[in-house]
């Protein structure tokens, strides 16, 4: 039996087995949502779940007593509490589910954990897996003509990229939303007539290249990317980045630079972008960003307040524009933090239990899903693996998490055997 026949036979056997065993997810029983857009709010460094969405009894950093750093408050969902610095989000928690039993096995390596929480897979030396954003871009494409499917508001790296799906599933990115996407914004000194002359010259070069390299895939891929960049650098798409056209009250409600990126995200969705990643990059408010070792803990509340304003305003803004039920919001971070305090008064890394968030998308939200023990260091109920979290997001985006992607002619499951949280659908 050759390799391909073996895979086909094994897949058929596995599918038959799933159909026969009660409680497993056969292909026709996968819950599906109705979302059209997805935004990932990336909190690089490791958001402390015990200080945000999974609060416990108060601890004492100086006395090294495990517990929360901030008092907790009630939310709009009875029985669900969050940190006091999430006061705005608490009022709209009926649109939110804090997944409190998330877990993986990468602890002390930020890069590997970042890769895990973008691709849903362990780092591999042989396969470069696509990110969630690239999977969604590949499967759904842009929601309108003339815009990219995937926009990254932050710094690019391989974890955020298309992997074996190739550049068509890649992103355009912006590190400064005021100047638009990197490499696409035209200098203000260029008049429209100069731009036209340059494009005419470029057209001549492209036509010559097409004749010289007829049938060459590398040239055709490059030429297609060039055509795409010319289209995206035009005035229609670039005007989406003009958030100054929004009211001052709304811009102030969104708050910090991170919040302004969230405001831009709503505008990108209105233009037809399918997936946006918004990276939190203001690491100097507390000295460390979300990697709250040592003194980073002391002013962690500044980061949480930024997140609170941005998230709550994004939820209400999307609802105002009738986009909330069509938009999945993910709060993602590479791992969490233990309830114990380290020698410097901060917190170390923890991946055996942490919290990420899913909101919007027309889902049946619970406020919280799953639970951890009194120090948020052990899962007590409803563990959720990273593949399950990804499968939930994909199903919400009307993408069957049982499907295969293809690395050349090699089938690769779209998630690492993840199952959606069916109760959210």
Domains of the chain: residue spans and CATH: 31-185+233-424 (3.40.720)
What local confidence, expressed as pLDDT, does residue 287 receive?
Answer: 87
| Full-model pTM | 0.86
Lowest mean pLDDT among 243-257, 269-283, 354-368: 269-283
Label the pairing between strands 37-42 and 327-332: parallel
Residue 270 vs residue 10, higher pLDDT: 270
The rounded distance, in Å, linking the Cα atoms of 357 and 330 is 6
The rounded distance, in Å, linking the Cα atoms of 275 and 136 is 7
According to DSSP, the residues that pair with 151 across neighbouring strands are 172, 276
pLDDT digits (tens, 9 = 90+) for 132-149: 999 999 999 999 998 999
In the chain, what are the helix, strand and coil shares in percent, each to the nearest 5? Answer: 40, 15, 45
Look at residue 394 and tell me whether its pLDDT is greater than 70.
yes
What local confidence, expressed as pLDDT, does residue 16 receive?
Answer: 46
What local confidence, expressed as pLDDT, does residue 216 receive?
Answer: 82
What local confidence, expressed as pLDDT, does residue 375 receive?
Answer: 96
What value does the mean pLDDT take over residues 335-363?
A: 95
The rounded distance, in Å, linking the Cα atoms of 402 and 30 is 8
Cα distances (Å, whole numbers) of residue 273 to 140, 172, 264, 265: 10, 11, 11, 9
Look at residue 185 and tell me whether its pLDDT is greater than 70.
no
3-state secondary structure 302-353: HHHHHHHHHHHHHHHHHHHCCCHHHEEEEEECCCECCCCCCCCCCCCCECCC
Q: In angstroms, how far is the first alpha carbon of the chain from the final one?
A: 41
Residue 376 is classified by DSSP as: S
Contacts of 161 (CB under 8 A, 6+ apart): 128, 130, 131, 134, 170, 171
pLDDT grade for 295, boundaries at 50, 70 and 90: confident
What local confidence, expressed as pLDDT, does residue 5 receive?
Answer: 53
Q: Quick one: 369 exposed, middle or buried, by C-beta within 10 A (0-12, 13-18, 19+)?
A: buried
Look at residue 28 and tell me whether its pLDDT is greater than 70.
no
Contacts of 192 (CB under 8 A, 6+ apart): none
Nearest residue to 336 (alpha-carbon basis) of 379, 278, 301, 302: 379
What local confidence, expressed as pLDDT, does residue 20 receive?
Answer: 42
Contacts of 165 (CB under 8 A, 6+ apart): 130, 134, 135, 138, 405
Residue 1 vs residue 411, higher pLDDT: 411
Q: What tokens appear for 401 in the block?
A: 């998490």
The rounded distance, in Å, linking the Cα atoms of 41 and 262 is 8
Look at residue 377 and tell me whether its pLDDT is greater than 70.
yes
pLDDT digits (tens, 9 = 90+) for 47-101: 999 999 999 999 999 999 999 999 999 999 999 999 999 999 999 999 999 999 9
- Residue 376 and residue 102 in contact, taking contact as beta carbons nearer than 8 Å: no
What local confidence, expressed as pLDDT, does residue 233 receive?
Answer: 53
Look at residue 19 and tell me whether its pLDDT is greater than 90.
no
Look at residue 199 and tell me whether its pLDDT is greater than 90.
no
pLDDT grade for 18, boundaries at 50, 70 and 90: very low
What local confidence, expressed as pLDDT, does residue 209 receive?
Answer: 76
What value does the mean pLDDT take over residues 298-315?
A: 97
The rounded distance, in Å, linking the Cα atoms of 79 and 89 is 15
pLDDT digits (tens, 9 = 90+) for 229-275: 556 655 678 899 999 999 999 999 999 999 999 999 999 999 999 99
The rounded distance, in Å, linking the Cα atoms of 135 and 399 is 9
Residue 276 is classified by DSSP as: E
């Amino acid at each position: 039996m050759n390799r391909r026949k073996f895979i086909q036979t094994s897949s058929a056997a596995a599918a038959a087995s799933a159909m026969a065993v009660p409680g497993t997810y056969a292909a026709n029983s996968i819950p599906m949502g109705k979302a059209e857009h997805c935004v990932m709010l990336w909190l690089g460094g490791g958001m402390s779940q015990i200080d945000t969405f999974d609060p416990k009894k108060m601890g004492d950093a100086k006395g090294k007593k495990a517990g929360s750093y901030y008092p907790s408050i009630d939310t709009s969902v009875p029985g669900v509490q969050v940190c006091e610095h999430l006061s705005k989000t608490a009022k709209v928690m009926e649109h939110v589910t804090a997944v409190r039993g998330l877990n993986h096995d990468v602890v002390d390596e930020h890069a590997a954990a970042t890769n895990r929480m973008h691709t849903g897979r362990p780092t591999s030396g042989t396969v470069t897996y696509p990110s969630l954003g690239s999977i969604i871009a590949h499967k759904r494409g842009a929601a309108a003509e003339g815009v990219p499917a995937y926009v990254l508001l932050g710094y690019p790296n391989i974890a955020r990229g298309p992997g074996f799906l190739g550049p068509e599933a890649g992103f355009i990115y912006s590190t400064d939303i005021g100047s638009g996407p990197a490499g696409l914004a035209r200098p203000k000194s260029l008049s429209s007539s100069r731009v036209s002359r340059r494009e005419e010259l470029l057209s001549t070069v492209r036509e010559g290249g097409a004749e010289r390299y007829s049938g060459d895939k590398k040239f055709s891929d490059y030429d297609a990317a060039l055509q795409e960049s010319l289209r995206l650098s035009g005035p229609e798409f670039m005007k989406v980045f003009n958030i100054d056209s929004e009211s001052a009250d709304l811009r102030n409600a969104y708050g910090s630079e991170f919040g302004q990126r969230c405001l831009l995200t709503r505008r990108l969705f209105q233009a037809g972008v399918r997936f946006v990643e918004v990276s939190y990059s203001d690491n100097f408010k507390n000295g460390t960003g979300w990697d709250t070792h040592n003194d980073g803990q002391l002013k962690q509340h500044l980061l949480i307040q930024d997140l609170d304003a941005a998230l709550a305003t994004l939820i209400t803004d999307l609802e105002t524009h009738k986009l909330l039920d069509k938009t999945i919001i993910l709060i993602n971070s590479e791992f969490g933090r233990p309830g114990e305090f380290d020698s410097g008064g901060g917190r170390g890394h923890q991946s055996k239990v942490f919290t990420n968030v899913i909101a919007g998308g027309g889902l049946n939200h619970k406020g919280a899903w799953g639970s951890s023990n009194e120090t948020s260091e052990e899962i007590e109920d409803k563990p959720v693996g990273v593949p399950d979290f990804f499968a939930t997001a994909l199903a919400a985006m009307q993408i069957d998490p049982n499907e295969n992607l293809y690395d050349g002619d090699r089938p690769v499951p779209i998630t690492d055997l993840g199952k959606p949280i069916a109760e959210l659908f």
